[in-house]
Amino acid sequence: MDYMKLSKELSYALRHAPWEYELELDEEGWVEISQLLVALHESPGWRNVTEDDMQHMIAVSEKKRHEINAGRIRALYGHSTPQKISKIATQPPELLYHGTPVRAVSSIMEHGLQPRQRQYVHLSADMDTARQVGQRRDDQPVILRVKAGQAAREGILFYHGNESIWLADVIPSRYIEQG
């Protein structure tokens, strides 16, 4: 079993295109694993995939992208589906980080951090994670510091994704520092 491939397939289904699997995410992004399996079993590459494979994939993944509970599975972050996944706002750490390509910085400092194609802005709890996120698009990404504590106290909403990822609504540039 190629667990990385399975993770990508499930991320696609649970973050971006559940309708292609005849699934509907509930308000918190959950779907029944049994329904997901019905759809996966129709495709030749996933004919034998099981819930145990999904459990194992989550256990061996470097990043906690998905979670399983009581026969259901969901993506923890990254959604782009039209209906916004509801999250409970919580107080973030004082500082969060965001890794981005050099070419995006001037626009971010002008317009703030925007969710772009996703439902929420994604922030990292530490600089290493932010660097890895930024390196998807630039060998030498810029790591921005986000004054999350202050932003939250002033009304910007933050949400927990996993232990290293936080989500937020648009973050105005006054809370963002470079270098």
Footprint on this chain of ligand HQG (rule: CB under 6 A): 63, 65, 78, 100, 104, 107-108, 111, 113-114, 116-118, 122, 133, 137, 165
Smaller CB separation from ligand HQG, 141 or 152: 141
Q: Which is nearer to ligand HQG, 38 or 170 (CB)?
A: 170
Residues 102/104/107/113 CA torsion (nearest 10 deg): -120
Nearest to 165 by CA among 80, 96, 91, 104: 96
Using CA atoms, how far residue 173 sits from 51, 65, 124, 131, 148, in Å, is 43, 28, 17, 20, 12
In the bound state with ligand HQG, the residue whose beta carbon lies nearer, of 91 and 114, is 114
- Burial code (b: 16+ CB inside 10 Å, e: under 16) for 29-59 equals bbbebeebbebbeeeeebeebeeebbeebbe
The least CB distance from residue 107 to ligand HQG, in Å, is: 3
Give me the least distance between CB of 47 and ligand HQG, in Å please.
Answer: 26
Closest CB to ligand HQG among residues 70, 158 = 158
CA nearest neighbour of 40 among 54, 30, 60, 57: 54
Supply the minimum distance, in Å, between the C-beta of residue 100 and ligand HQG. 3
Minimum distance between the CB of residue 105 and ligand HQG, rounded to whole angstroms? 8
Nearer to ligand HQG among residue 6 and residue 165 (C-beta): 165
Q: Check: CB of residue 9 under 8 Å from CB of residue 40.
A: yes
Phi, psi of 87 (to 5 degrees): -130, 155
Q: How far is the CB of 124 from ligand HQG (least distance, A)?
A: 7
